[in-house]
Copies of this chain bind each other. A is one copy, B any other.
């Protein structure tokens, strides 16, 4: 178990989920000597549904993905993904190094037939709901065909996670007119237009948050820029709020009065609610939790993996892709 906090967060979060879901079983992958102490004194009903799988190595958060792939063949990340490949686990959830997780998952699980490159998809907050966005950083540069495939994958995930019959798919561009953007984006737009997806056309980055679209497709560079801009802007706005409410004794009192409302507001934009990015397009389910996720956030990542297992996301992607070809 890696991530910034390792077992300290992942094990308690796993136990929380075991309590909530009586059908769930968890395999903790790592050094049993480190993991076992976290399980002392847990009820037998939980203990019976937890098992261990030894892995002697750990991929560090700043390790080069290629080095991790070559030299860490017994890392917890690699071993967990092997379990998925071998059918011994239904999904892998990791808070580790994103690049290494993607490289390892791609190498071990391989992409689905008809999918060129896997992508990272996650929910973003939107007025009145959520938007699914992909790719969030796995592929700096994409072809038009890959963007089209992202549209198919995004449509499946949005449909499964938010029970939408026909998710509205938009293609990220720097204007909504047909002449805008690069040749590549325009070509992807034409492909999506010819598909049987519910394609709504070009969207701009502000549309991610309006609730007018369910899936936003982009290459990993633009997607990552949108994700990091949101994170940075939210942090700046929080910092401004804190500064304003602590400016004077009087504003501190005003802040105290407003506290319950501010708390409710913070809860709405709590990034922990949006934790759990999926690596889609693979022969198996892999969910990436934020490296600094806490117990609640990591729990949400496990829940995302659970829904994807129940819905059979990889099979659905293959099916929807096949429909497009016909």
**In the complex, chain B residues whose CB is within 8 Å of the CB of A230:** 229, 233
Q: By CB atoms of chain B within 10 A, which of A174, A177, A239, A265 has the most? A: A174
Q: How many identical chains are in the complex?
A: 2
Cβ-defined contact, A261 with B245, below 8 A: yes
Smallest CB–CB gap between A111 and chain B, Å? 21
Interface stretch among A14-22, A205-213, A287-295?
A205-213
A32 contacts B by Cβ under 8 Å: no
**In the complex, chain B residues whose CB is within 8 Å of the CB of A224:** 174, 204-205
Query: Number of A interface residues, CB 8 Å?
Result: 61
Smallest CB–CB gap between A109 and chain B, Å? 23
Cβ-defined contact, B264 with A244, below 8 A: yes
**A224 CA / B255 CA spacing, docked (Å):** 35
Known: A220-B174, A241-B265. A233 touches B234 (CB 8 A): yes
**In the complex, chain B residues whose CB is within 8 Å of the CB of A268:** 240, 244
Cβ-defined contact, B234 with A205, below 8 A: no
**In the complex, chain B residues whose CB is within 8 Å of the CB of A161:** none
- Shortest 5 CB-CB distances between A and B: which pairs? A206-B232, A205-B228, A258-B258, A209-B232, A229-B229
